[in-house]
Amino acid sequence: MKVLMFGWEFPPHISGGLGTASYGLTKSLSAIEDLEILFVVPKLYGDEDEDVAKLIGAEDITVKHYKKTFKNSWEEKVKTLKGDKKSYSKIKKSEILSNLKSIEIIEVKSKLQPYLSIEEFEKFLKENNIFDKNIKIDKEGKLYYEKDGEVKEITFSKSEEETYTEDGKYKFEGGYGPNLLQEVYNYARVASIIAKENDFDLIHGHDWLANAAGIAAKEVSGKPLVIHVHATEYDRGGEERVDTRVFALEKAGMDAADKIITVSNLTKNTIIKYYGADPNKIQTVYNAVEPQEAEKNIYKKNVKEKLVTFLGRITYQKGPAYFVNAAKKVLEKTNDVRFVMAGNGDMFHEMIRYAAELGITDKFHFTDFLKGDEVTKMFSISDVYVMPSVSEPFGISPLEAMRSNVPVIISKQSGVAEVIQNAIKIDYWDEDALADAIYGLVKYNGMAKMFIQKSKKEVDEMKWDKPAREVKKIYDSLVK
Amino acid sequence: MQHICLYFQVHQPYRLKRYRFFNIGEDNQYFDDFENRMHMQRIANNSYLYTNKLLLDLINKHKNKFKVSFSITGLALEQFQEYAPEVLESFKELAKTGQVEFLAETYSHSLISLYDKDEFKLQVEEHVKAIKKHFGQTPEIFRNTELIYDNLIGETIAEMGFKAMITEGAKHILGWKSPNVLYYNVLKPELKLILKNYKLSDDIAFRFSDKGWDEYPLTAKKYASWISDLDYKNEVVNLFMDYETFGEHQKAETGIFDFLKAFPEEIINNTNFKFATPSEVAKKHEPVASMNVPYAISWADEERDITAWLGNEMQKEAFHKLYALAGKMKFIKRADLQKAWRYLQTSDHFYYMSTKILADGIVHDYFNPFNSPYDAFINYMNVLSDFQIRVNEAYEQLIPEEPEAILSKIKDYEEKIHALYVKLTQPVMIERVKPVLKAIEKEKEEFVAISKTKKVAKALPKQKAKKALPKPKKKTTTKDNLTKIEGIGPKIASILQNAGINTFSKLAKTKASKISEILISVGGNGYKRYNPKTWAKQASLAEKGKWDELKKLQAKLKGGK
């Protein structure tokens, strides 16, 4: 069976939950015996390797078509073979390689990026103008741009990384410009060409930006369509700020789909309630997390107090204000704790002012956006992780915290709360309960210890194989 | 007689480096040495050195007719010494002419006047000391950080014995009144107030190179004619500005130096005005009225208030969190912490956190090394959080375990004893009470002994200790004259005595390394040059009264080494 997958992001450039999830799932799917994947991914700048890149259709669109073997799966294979010493001695490298599966990847030159919202896309385009003039690419495929004699690396998480541009002057008007939707439809046109030129049995698209592409591919090929809902406009904007055009695209995808995969029952209920999606088509498949050794000992904690961390975008739906209020309550009872709000977002400055107003900023710290290594470091020095989201379709970061031996407190209004047992679950609005839970984990070592042990065990068992098998079953039900 | 008074502000903050959350608890280097050196050297070259030379020439040229005054903050002086000693030398040259006056302010260019009166006085005294040391003058006139002034600040300054204070001729305070006469403080009429003529000052400081200004280009001749037009009621025109106006804010190519060069001659030849320093102005003119300033004013922004430093929640938070440490810093003598404490108080740090963006945004931008006020705030609070940890640790080292608890225990015993004595007055009770009393008195003595140990006594404010111990027996501890030891002068002797080493016998028992540690921790790195290796041996001879042997030993020594 061959699946045409419209996915997002590939290592080394993964900037958030959607990329992590679609990559993790694809990787485990590709390990399943009779499954082949053709992974289509929008990419702003490829390696520009002319040998692999080719133009498709008459549209003068550059795509790059190549095969990729997952490094990790290669290592895993060797590891299992090593366990069986007899056979290991006989095996040649070429044999292992021939046993390995690779996936086909098509990179489409497109400005589409995951997690785009109104302002972010506008900003993205503005930054593109900088790119076009002064863009440079090095051997490793890293991108740099030059401005005023300074060379800076471009990372694909630009939208999260800098709320301020170089001169801090950009201001964005609200409302969608035509650009984002234009890109969505351009991408769909490319998708229909790819669908024409390739053979496959089924289409699987992740999130709304890929919906138009999925629908187009289905129309061209007549093959069944699975759409995978990681978040909805209601989670992103809240009920009052739903953009009707985005809503329309999301709904069109749900209507056209033969099956809908939601990342939690919370999301399932959301799409039934707000989009009128057919409950019979929907199935929940929870996300998982790649196992990884805790890096507790690599980084040293420099402060003697316990660290309580909020890590994520500082936006309304992540509930940052509840975290600040709970911090204030805890600090009234004990001085033996520090709070960290890591990340940025449209409520970043508001939260700084608010914490200052409450007079807790000598114990409540802001880090701004954290880059790759720093996230790992933040997890490894944290003693409690808090995710007080108002609305969180899934929420993969608590799993990452648990993996790093950090006890977590999550809101009941998150998808991840449905699937993990060893976490303290509170209502996001219940600041007293949140403060209580933080105080307990900070003060009662026995309790924290228990959570660390149990949650580590729990999360280590949550590998991507399981959701991959569930997804395969869904495929099987559609392809007969 | 009409006077014109020039006063220039010279200040450079110690800028903070990028200090992230992850640095807290690990990194105690807060300041960006590279950046500070670069700034100082650039401004020294663009502005200070050239302007000082120019002023020196002008003073020599117009014998006794051209005078200027400066206020140089302690932090600027330190940075001169560190990065540009030739600038300090050129200011000393100016001081020698006798035509240059130096004013007093707070050493760190701090906002302490808005917080604590006693600490404010100390910081002013520290600055006065520094000015005296470098320039041989004792300032008579005070100018506060950013010309911040209100009635109470004026009162404090009058109490300190200053004759006059410089501040802003803020329109919202003066109304129709002129800044070109003197006023006096409403609480202390003896304190004269010399006000900045902000219109004429800002013509030079801000508008000089503004091509959109209808008076552009400004020549010395034109400027002098404006001053000449002022009638006799305008007794004094005060032109106050940042010294960096010359060559840094207004670059050389704007012609600012030509202006300055021609300016004295135009005034001397073509107007009735004579140059005077602030102290001369204060002597020669009498105030015409009182000036009532209940809310603090300053020389910044349109509003001329203090909102550029303490306008938003972040600034207030940082300010209060900083000064919450003031009480502890009074006890802590460590040189490194005292230094950071002085540098962190500079008003500039608070200015960077300002969210005022309207008319004054451009000025704010120029002075701000951070991308945004939020950035500045986060960085400052990260540094302050680390500083707070270090202060608390240093303070805990000073205090032994709960001295308060020991004292309250003694108090309890005293009350008990008192009650027992009352009971003793009843003869029937004597038999039963006496042994109890005796036991309790013994217990009490033990606690008193603890409380008399150096550590506890030092950690407690003196009056409190007196109150708690109603009849402290005066123990005649014989102190020895430690200066008999070669290498120990009166200063070191007093340091050692404060540290509890007040007899030969104690000194004989103290390791040389411990002595070095004490000296450096109290007096700073300057004390590294003393080598106390032989002190213990000398002291043991002195203790035993073997003075002849000591003399023989000392003859062999050089400076105690």
Angle, helix B198-205 to helix B220-228, in steps of 10 degrees: 180
Residues B290 and B328 in one domain: no
Q: Do B314 and A340 touch (CB under 8 A)?
A: no
Q: What is the mean pLDDT of chain A?
A: 77
Q: In angstroms, what separates the C-alpha of B26 from chain A's closest C-alpha?
A: 6
Residue among B44, B40, B105, B94 nearest B69 (CA): B94
Task: Inspect the interface and report whether the beta carbons of A361 and B24 lie closer than 8 Å.
Answer: no
Do the chains contact at B22 and A365, CB–CB below 8 Å? no
Same domain, A18 and A96: yes
Q: Indicate the burial class of A295 (C-beta count within 10 angstroms; 0-12, 13-18, 19 or more).
A: middle
Same domain, A432 and A361: yes
Same domain, A191 and A316: no
Residues of A in contact with B393 (CB under 8 A): none
B394 and B440 together in one domain: no
Q: Is B24 on the interface with A (CB under 8 A)?
A: yes
Structural domain includes residue A169: no
Q: Are residues B164 and B250 in the same domain?
A: yes
Q: Determine, yes or no, domain membership for A297.
A: no
State how many domains chain A has. 3
Any idea what the Cα angle at residue A76 is, between residues A70 and A81, rounded to 5°? 130
Tell me whether residue B350 is in a domain. Answer: yes
ipTM surpassing 0.85: no
Split at pLDDT 50, 70, 90, the class of A149 is low
Lowest-pLDDT range, A150-159, A415-424, B24-33, B326-335? Answer: A150-159
- With an 8 Å Cβ cutoff, is B516 touching chain A? no
Q: Are residues A373 and A241 in the same domain?
A: no
Q: What is the pLDDT of residues A62-105, one digit of tens each?
A: 566 666 655 444 455 555 555 555 454 454 555 444 445 566 77
Nearest by CB: B25 against A164, A303, A367:
A303
Q: Are residues A147 and A94 in the same domain?
A: no
CB–CB contact A356 B320 (8 Å):
no
Q: Do B25 and A356 touch (CB under 8 A)?
A: no
- Answer yes or no: do A394 and A248 share one domain: no
Phi, psi of B96, rounded to the nearest 5 degrees: -65, -20
Query: Is residue B459 located within the same domain as residue B526?
Result: no
Domain co-membership, A354 together with A442: yes
Same domain, B291 and B431: no
> A272 CA to chain B: closest CA distance, Å?
42
Q: Look-up: residue for tokens 């004792």?
A: B138
**Residue of A352, A369, A373 best to disrupt the B interface, most CBs of B under 10 A:** A352
Between CA A442 and CA B366 the distance in angstroms is: 44
Mutation target among A310, A331, A362 for the B interface, most CBs of B within 10 A: A362
Q: Which residues of A touch B378 (CB under 8 A)?
A: 352, 365-366, 368
Judgement on whether residues B419 and B275 belong to the same structural domain of the protein:
no
Do B256 and B115 share a structural domain?
yes
- Report yes or no on B430 lying in a domain: yes
Identify the H or E element spanning A184: helix A178-197
Q: What was the pLDDT predicted at A158?
A: 29
Query: B392 in a domain, yes or no?
Result: yes
Closest Cα in chain A, distance from residue B345 (Å): 16
Q: Where are the alpha helices (DSSP H) in B136-277?
A: 151-159, 171-174, 198-205, 220-228, 256-270
**What range defines the domain where residue B423 resides?**
403-468
Contact B148, B298 (CB under 8 A): yes
Residues B97 and B112 in one domain: yes
Average pLDDT (A172-181) is 42
Top residue of B374, B383, B387, B396 to mutate, by most chain A CBs within 10 Å, is B374
Q: For residue A18, tell me if it sits in a domain.
A: yes
- Give buried/exposed letters for A140-162 (b at 16+ CB in 10 A, else e): eeebebeeeeeeeebbbbbbbeb
Same domain for A194 and A71, yes or no, is yes
| One domain for residues A475 and A437 | no
Among B313, B322, B353, B383, the residue to mutate for chain A (most A Cβ within 10 A):
B313
Domain-located, residue A168: no
Please report residues of B whose CB lies closer than 8 A to that of A367: 20-22
Tell me how far the alpha carbon of residue A166 is from its chain's centroid: 26
The tens-digit pLDDT sequence of chain B (561 residues) is: 899 999 999 999 999 999 999 999 989 999 999 999 999 999 999 999 999 999 999 999 999 999 999 999 999 999 999 999 999 999 999 999 999 999 999 999 999 998 878 889 999 999 999 999 999 999 999 999 999 999 889 999 999 999 999 999 888 888 889 999 999 999 899 999 999 999 999 999 999 999 999 999 999 999 999 999 999 999 999 999 999 999 999 999 999 999 999 999 999 999 999 999 999 999 999 999 999 988 889 988 878 888 889 888 999 999 989 988 887 887 788 999 999 999 999 999 999 998 875 444 455 555 666 778 888 999 999 999 999 999 988 887 776 556 666 677 677 778 777 777 776 666 656 665 676 677 677 667 766 766 666 556 665 555 444 444 444 444 445 677 888 888 888 778 888 887 778 888 888 888 888 888 778 777 777 777 777 888 888 888 888 888 888 888 887 776 545
A348 contacts in B (CB within 8 Å)?
A: 374
Chain B positions in Cβ-Cβ contact with residue A377 (cut-off 8 Å): 22
First vs last C-alpha separation in chain A: 10
Domain membership of residue B248 (yes or no) is yes
What's phi and psi for B239, nearest 5 deg? Answer: -105, 105
Cβ atoms < 10 Å from Cβ of B451: 20
The answer to whether residue B269 sits within a structural domain is yes
B6: its two tokens: 């020039």
Task: Enumerate residues 320 to 349 of chain B having a beta carbon within 8 A of any beta carbon in chain A.
Answer: 320-321
Residues B96 and B238 reside in one and the same domain: yes
Q: Is B269 on the interface with A (CB under 8 A)?
A: no
Kind and range of the H or E run holding A337: strand A337-342
B22 to A366: CB separation less than 8 angstroms, yes or no: no
Element (H, E) at A132: helix A118-134
Q: Is the pLDDT of residue A146 over 60?
A: no
Same domain membership, residue A276 and residue A414: no
Cross-strand bridge partners of residue A284: A262
pLDDT tops 50 at residue A159? no
Q: Do A374 and B22 touch (CB under 8 A)?
A: yes
B87-93: Cβ within 8 A, 24+ apart: B87/B44, B87/B48, B87/B49, B87/B52, B88/B134, B90/B48, B90/B49, B90/B52, B90/B53, B90/B56, B91/B52, B91/B134, B91/B135, B92/B134, B92/B135, B93/B52, B93/B56
- B22: chain A residues, CB-CB within 8 Å: 302, 367, 374, 377
Nearest chain A alpha carbon to B375: A368
Beta-strand ranges (E) seen in A44-142 are: 53-56, 61-69, 102-109, 135-137
- The beta-carbon neighbor of A353 closest among B314, B372, B385 is B314
As for how many domains chain B has, the answer is: 4
In a domain, A146, yes or no: yes
Our answer to whether residue B146 is catalytic in this structure is yes
The residue of chain B nearest to residue A360, with distances taken between CA atoms, is B317
- Domain presence at residue A36: yes
Look at A15 and B104; give whichever has higher pLDDT.
B104
Residues B392 and B410 in one domain: no
pLDDT at residue A361, rounded to an integer: 94
Kindly state whether residue A216 falls inside one of the protein's structural domains: yes
Domain end position, chosen among B351, B378, B398: B398
Task: Give the closest-approach CA distance of A163 to chain B in angstroms.
Answer: 11
Domain edge (last residue) among B443, B468, B493: B468
Residues of A in Cβ contact (< 8 Å) with B372: 164, 168, 349
Residue B486 placed within a domain: yes
Last residue of a domain, one of A161, A192, A215: A161
Instruction: State residue B149 phi and psi, 5-degree precision.
Output: -150, 140
Predicted pLDDT of residue A290? 78
In a domain, A294, yes or no: no
Of A419, A351, A353, A416, nearest to A385 by C-alpha is A416
Beta partners for A468?
none
Shared domain check, B271 and B192? yes
**pLDDT number for residue B450:** 64
List CB contacts (< 8 A) between A340 and chain B. Answer: 21
Single-letter residue type at A470: E
d(Cα B388, Cα B340) in Å, to the nearest integer? 11
Q: Which residues of A touch B388 (CB under 8 A)?
A: 362
The encoded tokens of residue A210 equal: 């890929």
Distance from CA of B266 to the nearest CA of A (A): 43
The span from the CA of A63 to the CA of A324, in Å, is 46
The reply to whether A84 and A13 lie within a common domain is yes
Q: Are residues A185 and A313 in the same domain?
A: no
Interface touch A361/B318, C-beta < 8 Å: yes
Do B342 and B393 fall within a single domain? yes
For testing contact with chain B, the best of A304, A347, A361, A376 (most B CBs within 10 A): A361
Q: A74 vs chain B: nearest CA distance in angstroms? A: 36
Going by their DSSP bridges, the two strands A61-69 and A408-411 should be labelled as unpaired
**Rounded Cα gap, residues B219 and A414, in angstroms:** 70
Q: Which of B417, B439, B468 is the last residue of a domain?
A: B468
What is the reported pLDDT for A114?
A: 58
Domain coverage including residue A412: 306-460
Q: Report which DSSP code applies to A414.
A: B
**Cβ–Cβ below 8 Å for A304 and B22:** no
β pairing state of A364-368 and A36-43? unpaired
Would you report the helix, strand and coil content of chain A in percent, each value rounded to 5? 45, 20, 35
A211-221 and A244-256 helices cross at what angle (nearest 10)?
Answer: 40
Do B317 and A357 count as a contact with CB atoms less than 8 A apart? yes
Task: Identify the CATH number of the domain in which residue A281 sits.
Answer: 3.40.50.2000
User: How does DSSP classify residue B44?
Assistant: I
Residue B415: the pLDDT is 79
The identity of residue B413, as a single letter, is Y
Whether A106 has a pLDDT exceeding 80, the answer reads no
Bridge-based pairing of strands A384-387 and A408-411 is parallel
Token code pair at residue B239: 């032109």
Instruction: Out of B78, B146, B235, B280, pick the active-site residue.
Output: B146
The full DSSP string for B386-425 is HHHHHHHHHHHHHS-S-HHHHHHHHHHHHHHHHHHHHHHT
What is the band of A57 on the pLDDT scale with cuts at 50, 70, 90? very low
